[in-house]
Structure 1
Amino acid sequence: METLDLTEIINGVEITGPSPFGKHQRIAANIFRLLDRFVEPLGSVYFSPLDVIFEDGINRLQPDILFIRKENMGIFQDWIRGVPDMVCEIVSSSSYEIDTEVKMAIYEKYRVPEYWIVMPEPKTIEILTIEGDKYKLHSFAAIEGSVTSKVIEGLQINISDIFD
Protein backbone atom coordinates (compact mmCIF):
# COMPACT_ATOMS: atom_id res chain seq x y z
CA MET A 1 0.00 0.00 0.00
CA GLU A 2 1.38 3.38 -0.99
CA THR A 3 1.29 6.48 1.18
CA LEU A 4 1.05 10.08 0.07
CA ASP A 5 4.46 11.71 0.29
CA LEU A 6 4.85 15.30 1.40
CA THR A 7 7.71 17.31 -0.06
CA GLU A 8 9.57 20.25 1.46
CA ILE A 9 12.75 22.04 0.47
CA ILE A 10 14.94 22.53 3.51
CA ASN A 11 18.12 24.56 3.07
CA GLY A 12 18.14 23.77 -0.66
CA VAL A 13 17.57 20.02 -0.25
CA GLU A 14 14.29 18.39 -1.28
CA ILE A 15 12.99 16.23 1.57
CA THR A 16 10.16 13.76 1.07
CA GLY A 17 8.31 12.09 3.90
CA PRO A 18 5.15 10.07 4.42
CA SER A 19 1.82 11.63 5.26
CA PRO A 20 1.10 11.97 9.00
CA PHE A 21 -0.52 9.27 11.11
CA GLY A 22 -4.11 9.53 12.30
CA LYS A 23 -3.23 10.71 15.83
CA HIS A 24 -1.22 13.58 14.35
CA GLN A 25 -4.18 14.54 12.17
CA ARG A 26 -6.62 14.49 15.13
CA ILE A 27 -4.35 16.85 17.08
CA ALA A 28 -3.96 19.12 14.03
CA ALA A 29 -7.74 19.18 13.55
CA ASN A 30 -8.28 20.09 17.23
CA ILE A 31 -5.80 22.97 17.00
CA PHE A 32 -7.28 24.15 13.70
CA ARG A 33 -10.86 24.16 15.04
CA LEU A 34 -9.91 26.10 18.17
CA LEU A 35 -7.85 28.65 16.25
CA ASP A 36 -10.28 29.05 13.37
CA ARG A 37 -13.15 30.03 15.68
CA PHE A 38 -10.94 32.46 17.61
CA VAL A 39 -9.03 34.23 14.83
CA GLU A 40 -11.88 34.98 12.42
CA PRO A 41 -11.83 38.76 12.98
CA LEU A 42 -8.02 38.83 13.22
CA GLY A 43 -6.88 36.82 10.21
CA SER A 44 -6.92 33.31 8.79
CA VAL A 45 -5.63 29.92 9.86
CA TYR A 46 -4.50 27.22 7.39
CA PHE A 47 -3.35 23.61 7.61
CA SER A 48 -0.90 21.36 5.77
CA PRO A 49 -0.30 20.59 3.03
CA LEU A 50 0.20 24.21 2.01
CA ASP A 51 3.63 25.44 0.95
CA VAL A 52 5.21 28.35 2.77
CA ILE A 53 7.89 29.66 0.46
CA PHE A 54 10.48 31.69 2.33
CA GLU A 55 12.98 31.61 -0.56
CA ASP A 56 12.38 29.91 -3.93
CA GLY A 57 14.48 26.77 -4.21
CA ILE A 58 16.00 27.26 -0.74
CA ASN A 59 13.29 26.94 1.93
CA ARG A 60 9.75 25.76 1.16
CA LEU A 61 8.15 24.26 4.24
CA GLN A 62 4.73 22.84 5.08
CA PRO A 63 3.96 23.65 8.72
CA ASP A 64 1.07 21.66 10.16
CA ILE A 65 -0.88 24.81 11.05
CA LEU A 66 -0.21 28.47 10.30
CA PHE A 67 -1.86 31.81 10.98
CA ILE A 68 -1.72 35.02 8.95
CA ARG A 69 -3.03 38.35 10.24
CA LYS A 70 -5.48 40.22 7.99
CA GLU A 71 -2.95 42.98 7.39
CA ASN A 72 -0.40 40.42 6.13
CA MET A 73 -2.72 38.50 3.76
CA GLY A 74 -0.73 39.81 0.78
CA ILE A 75 1.63 36.85 1.31
CA PHE A 76 -1.23 34.45 0.46
CA GLN A 77 -0.93 34.00 -3.29
CA ASP A 78 -0.78 30.64 -5.08
CA TRP A 79 0.94 29.45 -1.91
CA ILE A 80 2.20 31.42 1.05
CA ARG A 81 5.07 33.57 -0.20
CA GLY A 82 6.55 35.22 2.83
CA VAL A 83 6.49 34.96 6.60
CA PRO A 84 3.33 33.79 8.39
CA ASP A 85 2.58 35.30 11.81
CA MET A 86 2.49 31.88 13.50
CA VAL A 87 3.51 28.36 12.52
CA CYS A 88 2.85 25.14 14.38
CA GLU A 89 4.58 21.77 14.02
CA ILE A 90 3.21 18.60 15.56
CA VAL A 91 6.27 16.54 16.40
CA SER A 92 6.54 12.78 15.99
CA SER A 93 9.48 10.60 16.99
CA SER A 94 10.58 10.50 13.33
CA SER A 95 10.34 14.30 12.89
CA TYR A 96 11.80 15.39 16.25
CA GLU A 97 15.17 16.65 15.00
CA ILE A 98 13.75 18.26 11.85
CA ASP A 99 10.95 20.07 13.75
CA THR A 100 12.81 21.11 16.91
CA GLU A 101 16.17 21.98 15.38
CA VAL A 102 16.24 22.32 11.58
CA LYS A 103 12.82 23.89 10.98
CA MET A 104 13.08 25.94 14.16
CA ALA A 105 16.33 27.45 12.84
CA ILE A 106 14.65 28.26 9.51
CA TYR A 107 11.62 29.85 11.18
CA GLU A 108 14.00 31.81 13.40
CA LYS A 109 16.13 32.91 10.41
CA TYR A 110 13.07 34.34 8.64
CA ARG A 111 11.78 35.79 11.91
CA VAL A 112 8.43 33.99 12.09
CA PRO A 113 6.93 35.83 15.09
CA GLU A 114 5.59 32.73 16.86
CA TYR A 115 6.45 29.01 16.66
CA TRP A 116 4.37 26.31 18.36
CA ILE A 117 5.99 22.94 19.06
CA VAL A 118 3.31 20.37 19.89
CA MET A 119 4.45 16.99 21.21
CA PRO A 120 1.76 14.29 21.40
CA GLU A 121 4.06 12.29 23.66
CA PRO A 122 4.40 13.49 26.45
CA LYS A 123 1.47 15.88 25.70
CA THR A 124 3.29 19.21 25.72
CA ILE A 125 2.87 22.51 23.90
CA GLU A 126 5.72 24.99 23.77
CA ILE A 127 5.10 28.44 22.30
CA LEU A 128 8.20 30.37 21.26
CA THR A 129 8.26 34.01 20.21
CA ILE A 130 10.97 35.82 18.33
CA GLU A 131 12.88 38.35 20.41
CA GLY A 132 15.73 40.01 18.61
CA ASP A 133 17.18 37.24 16.45
CA LYS A 134 16.26 34.27 18.68
CA TYR A 135 13.25 32.38 19.90
CA LYS A 136 12.42 32.69 23.59
CA LEU A 137 9.90 30.58 25.50
CA HIS A 138 6.62 32.48 25.82
CA SER A 139 4.28 29.77 27.13
CA PHE A 140 4.48 26.08 28.03
CA ALA A 141 2.16 23.40 29.38
CA ALA A 142 2.59 19.67 29.91
CA ILE A 143 -0.21 17.12 30.38
CA GLU A 144 -2.55 19.74 31.89
CA GLY A 145 -2.87 23.49 32.04
CA SER A 146 -3.05 26.02 29.26
CA VAL A 147 -0.87 28.00 26.90
CA THR A 148 -1.24 31.55 25.62
CA SER A 149 -0.26 33.19 22.37
CA LYS A 150 1.54 36.50 22.09
CA VAL A 151 0.73 36.90 18.38
CA ILE A 152 -2.96 35.96 18.67
CA GLU A 153 -3.88 38.32 21.47
CA GLY A 154 -6.25 36.90 24.05
CA LEU A 155 -5.88 33.30 22.89
CA GLN A 156 -5.60 30.78 25.70
CA ILE A 157 -5.82 27.06 24.96
CA ASN A 158 -6.33 24.30 27.51
CA ILE A 159 -4.08 21.50 26.31
CA SER A 160 -6.66 18.86 27.25
CA ASP A 161 -8.72 20.29 24.36
CA ILE A 162 -5.82 19.44 22.02
CA PHE A 163 -4.82 15.98 23.17
CA ASP A 164 -8.17 14.46 24.17
Structure 2
Amino acid sequence: MDLYKNEQMPVKDYFRIRENSEQLFEYIDGFVYMSPSPSTRHQRISSKLHIKLGNFLRGKSCEVFHAPFDIELKRENIEGTKIVIPDLTVICDKAGFTESRYIGVPNFIIEILSPTNQSHDLITKLNIYMNYGVQEYWIVNPMLNSVTVYSLDEKRMYEQHDMKTESGRVKSKFLSGFSADLQEIF
Protein backbone atom coordinates (compact mmCIF):
# COMPACT_ATOMS: atom_id res chain seq x y z
CA MET A 1 0.00 0.00 0.00
CA ASP A 2 1.60 3.22 -1.14
CA LEU A 3 1.12 6.59 0.45
CA TYR A 4 -0.54 8.80 -2.19
CA LYS A 5 1.00 12.01 -0.88
CA ASN A 6 3.43 12.59 1.94
CA GLU A 7 1.44 15.55 3.21
CA GLN A 8 -1.89 15.72 4.95
CA MET A 9 -4.97 16.83 3.06
CA PRO A 10 -8.49 17.71 4.09
CA VAL A 11 -11.15 15.03 3.67
CA LYS A 12 -12.94 17.15 1.04
CA ASP A 13 -9.83 16.88 -1.20
CA TYR A 14 -9.82 13.12 -0.67
CA PHE A 15 -13.45 12.88 -1.84
CA ARG A 16 -12.61 14.96 -4.92
CA ILE A 17 -9.74 12.58 -5.76
CA ARG A 18 -12.03 9.56 -5.28
CA GLU A 19 -14.72 11.01 -7.54
CA ASN A 20 -12.25 11.54 -10.39
CA SER A 21 -10.40 8.23 -10.21
CA GLU A 22 -10.98 4.51 -10.60
CA GLN A 23 -8.14 3.82 -8.14
CA LEU A 24 -8.82 2.52 -4.64
CA PHE A 25 -7.86 5.08 -2.01
CA GLU A 26 -8.13 5.00 1.76
CA TYR A 27 -8.00 8.04 4.02
CA ILE A 28 -6.48 7.84 7.49
CA ASP A 29 -6.26 11.03 9.53
CA GLY A 30 -5.38 13.26 6.59
CA PHE A 31 -3.16 10.86 4.67
CA VAL A 32 -4.28 9.09 1.49
CA TYR A 33 -3.21 5.52 0.82
CA MET A 34 -3.49 3.95 -2.62
CA SER A 35 -4.14 0.23 -3.04
CA PRO A 36 -2.87 -1.74 -6.01
CA SER A 37 -5.35 -3.78 -8.04
CA PRO A 38 -5.87 -7.16 -6.38
CA SER A 39 -4.29 -10.26 -7.90
CA THR A 40 -6.29 -13.09 -9.45
CA ARG A 41 -5.63 -15.28 -6.39
CA HIS A 42 -6.73 -12.48 -4.08
CA GLN A 43 -9.99 -12.14 -6.03
CA ARG A 44 -10.64 -15.89 -5.96
CA ILE A 45 -10.17 -16.05 -2.18
CA SER A 46 -12.36 -12.97 -1.69
CA SER A 47 -15.08 -14.42 -3.90
CA LYS A 48 -15.11 -17.76 -2.04
CA LEU A 49 -15.34 -16.06 1.35
CA HIS A 50 -17.99 -13.62 0.11
CA ILE A 51 -20.20 -16.47 -1.15
CA LYS A 52 -19.66 -18.45 2.05
CA LEU A 53 -20.54 -15.46 4.26
CA GLY A 54 -23.50 -14.49 2.05
CA ASN A 55 -24.95 -18.00 2.27
CA PHE A 56 -24.41 -18.10 6.04
CA LEU A 57 -26.06 -14.71 6.56
CA ARG A 58 -29.08 -15.40 4.32
CA GLY A 59 -32.20 -14.67 6.37
CA LYS A 60 -30.22 -13.03 9.19
CA SER A 61 -30.04 -9.34 10.09
CA CYS A 62 -26.36 -8.91 9.08
CA GLU A 63 -25.10 -8.30 5.53
CA VAL A 64 -21.74 -8.88 3.86
CA PHE A 65 -20.16 -6.35 1.47
CA HIS A 66 -17.08 -6.80 -0.70
CA ALA A 67 -14.55 -4.24 -1.88
CA PRO A 68 -14.73 -1.65 -3.14
CA PHE A 69 -17.11 -0.33 -0.49
CA ASP A 70 -16.10 2.62 1.69
CA ILE A 71 -16.33 2.34 5.45
CA GLU A 72 -16.01 5.63 7.31
CA LEU A 73 -15.13 4.55 10.82
CA LYS A 74 -16.92 6.67 13.37
CA ARG A 75 -17.17 6.22 17.12
CA GLU A 76 -17.67 8.62 20.01
CA ASN A 77 -14.48 9.68 21.77
CA ILE A 78 -12.29 8.98 18.72
CA GLU A 79 -11.21 11.97 16.68
CA GLY A 80 -10.00 12.03 13.12
CA THR A 81 -11.37 10.63 9.90
CA LYS A 82 -10.65 7.13 8.71
CA ILE A 83 -12.15 5.83 5.48
CA VAL A 84 -11.08 2.28 4.69
CA ILE A 85 -11.96 -0.26 2.02
CA PRO A 86 -11.87 -3.72 3.61
CA ASP A 87 -11.89 -6.75 1.35
CA LEU A 88 -15.02 -8.07 3.10
CA THR A 89 -17.20 -6.41 5.72
CA VAL A 90 -20.09 -7.77 7.77
CA ILE A 91 -22.48 -5.08 9.01
CA CYS A 92 -25.38 -5.75 11.38
CA ASP A 93 -26.34 -2.17 12.36
CA LYS A 94 -28.10 -0.71 9.33
CA ALA A 95 -28.29 2.83 10.75
CA GLY A 96 -24.94 3.87 9.25
CA PHE A 97 -25.69 3.27 5.58
CA THR A 98 -25.61 6.22 3.19
CA GLU A 99 -25.95 6.17 -0.57
CA SER A 100 -22.16 5.97 -1.04
CA ARG A 101 -20.69 4.35 2.09
CA TYR A 102 -21.20 3.04 5.60
CA ILE A 103 -20.53 5.37 8.54
CA GLY A 104 -19.96 3.63 11.86
CA VAL A 105 -18.22 0.48 13.04
CA PRO A 106 -18.73 -2.81 11.19
CA ASN A 107 -18.98 -5.96 13.25
CA PHE A 108 -16.60 -8.18 11.28
CA ILE A 109 -13.88 -7.38 8.73
CA ILE A 110 -11.71 -9.62 6.54
CA GLU A 111 -8.54 -8.36 4.89
CA ILE A 112 -6.62 -10.46 2.36
CA LEU A 113 -2.91 -9.67 2.38
CA SER A 114 -0.96 -8.77 -0.73
CA PRO A 115 2.84 -8.62 -0.79
CA THR A 116 2.69 -4.82 -1.00
CA ASN A 117 0.14 -4.15 1.78
CA GLN A 118 1.10 -6.52 4.58
CA SER A 119 2.21 -3.97 7.15
CA HIS A 120 -0.83 -1.78 6.45
CA ASP A 121 -3.24 -4.65 7.21
CA LEU A 122 -1.16 -6.35 9.93
CA ILE A 123 -0.31 -3.23 11.93
CA THR A 124 -2.14 -0.07 10.90
CA LYS A 125 -5.57 -1.54 10.21
CA LEU A 126 -5.40 -4.08 13.03
CA ASN A 127 -4.88 -1.26 15.52
CA ILE A 128 -7.49 0.99 13.91
CA TYR A 129 -10.11 -1.78 13.87
CA MET A 130 -9.35 -2.72 17.47
CA ASN A 131 -9.54 0.92 18.66
CA TYR A 132 -12.87 1.48 16.91
CA GLY A 133 -14.34 -1.76 18.27
CA VAL A 134 -14.62 -4.02 15.21
CA GLN A 135 -15.61 -7.20 17.03
CA GLU A 136 -13.76 -9.62 14.76
CA TYR A 137 -10.92 -9.21 12.27
CA TRP A 138 -9.68 -11.98 9.97
CA ILE A 139 -6.31 -11.67 8.27
CA VAL A 140 -6.06 -14.01 5.29
CA ASN A 141 -2.49 -14.60 4.11
CA PRO A 142 -2.35 -16.21 0.63
CA MET A 143 1.46 -16.35 0.73
CA LEU A 144 1.35 -18.68 3.76
CA ASN A 145 -2.10 -20.20 3.15
CA SER A 146 -3.11 -19.07 6.62
CA VAL A 147 -6.01 -17.33 8.34
CA THR A 148 -5.72 -15.58 11.70
CA VAL A 149 -8.88 -14.63 13.58
CA TYR A 150 -8.77 -11.79 16.11
CA SER A 151 -11.70 -10.99 18.39
CA LEU A 152 -12.21 -8.30 21.00
CA ASP A 153 -11.81 -9.43 24.59
CA GLU A 154 -13.49 -7.88 27.65
CA LYS A 155 -10.78 -5.15 27.75
CA ARG A 156 -11.54 -4.22 24.11
CA MET A 157 -8.18 -5.58 22.99
CA TYR A 158 -7.71 -8.09 20.19
CA GLU A 159 -6.89 -11.62 21.19
CA GLN A 160 -6.07 -14.35 18.72
CA HIS A 161 -9.21 -16.47 18.67
CA ASP A 162 -8.10 -18.94 15.99
CA MET A 163 -5.32 -19.51 13.48
CA LYS A 164 -4.75 -22.19 10.88
CA THR A 165 -2.11 -22.70 8.20
CA GLU A 166 -2.42 -24.96 5.14
CA SER A 167 -5.36 -27.01 6.44
CA GLY A 168 -8.05 -27.06 9.06
CA ARG A 169 -11.15 -25.00 9.73
CA VAL A 170 -11.09 -21.48 11.22
CA LYS A 171 -14.07 -20.51 13.32
CA SER A 172 -15.69 -17.17 13.95
CA LYS A 173 -16.37 -16.06 17.49
CA PHE A 174 -18.72 -13.24 16.46
CA LEU A 175 -20.75 -15.22 13.92
CA SER A 176 -21.60 -18.29 15.96
CA GLY A 177 -21.59 -21.34 13.69
CA PHE A 178 -19.60 -19.72 10.87
CA SER A 179 -16.34 -21.39 9.88
CA ALA A 180 -14.19 -21.77 6.79
CA ASP A 181 -12.09 -24.71 5.62
CA LEU A 182 -8.66 -23.59 4.44
CA GLN A 183 -8.62 -26.23 1.69
CA GLU A 184 -11.73 -24.58 0.22
CA ILE A 185 -10.40 -21.02 0.61
CA PHE A 186 -6.96 -21.57 -0.89
Specify which structure has the higher proportion of strand.
Answer: 1
Tell me the residue number matched to 2:182: 159
Give the aligned residue type for 1:129: S
1:38 to 43, 49, 56: 56
Residue correspondence of structure 1 range 106-145 to structure 2 within 5 A: 106-131=128-153, 132-145=155-168
Instruction: Note if 1:18 corresponds to 2:36.
Output: yes
Give the aligned residue type for 1:73: K
Give unpaired runs (5+ residues) of structure 1. none
Mapped to 2, the partners of 1:54 and 1:17 lie a distance apart of 18
Give aligned-pair identity as a percent: 30
TM-score (norm: length of structure 1) = 0.92
Q: For the structure 1 residues 158 and 115, does the alpha-carbon distance in structure 2 shift closer, same or farther, using more than 3 Å as the test?
A: same
Residue correspondence of structure 1 range 61-80 to structure 2 within 5 A: 61-69=84-92, 72-78=93-99, 79-80=101-102
Secondary structure, counterpart of 1:151 in structure 2: coil
CA contact 1:9–1:57 (8 Å) conserved in 2: no
Mapped to 1, the partners of 2:108 and 2:97 lie a distance apart of 14
TM-score (norm: length of structure 2) = 0.81
CA contact 1:129–1:136 (8 Å) conserved in 2: yes
Tell me the residue number matched to 2:107: 85
Q: 1:31 offset after TM fit, Å?
A: 0.5
Q: 1:57 offset after TM fit, Å?
A: 6.5
Q: Spell out, residue by residue over 1:73-92, the C-alpha distance to the aligned partner (whole angstroms, 9 max, x if none).
A: 11222211001110010001
Tell me the residue number matched to 1:52: 71
Tell me the residue number matched to 1:102: 124
Give the aligned residue type for 2:96: I
Secondary structure, counterpart of 2:148 in structure 1: strand
Mapped to 2, the partners of 1:153 and 1:65 lie a distance apart of 18
Secondary structure, counterpart of 1:93 in structure 2: coil
Q: 1:38 offset after TM fit, Å?
A: 0.5
Give the aligned residue type for 2:150: L
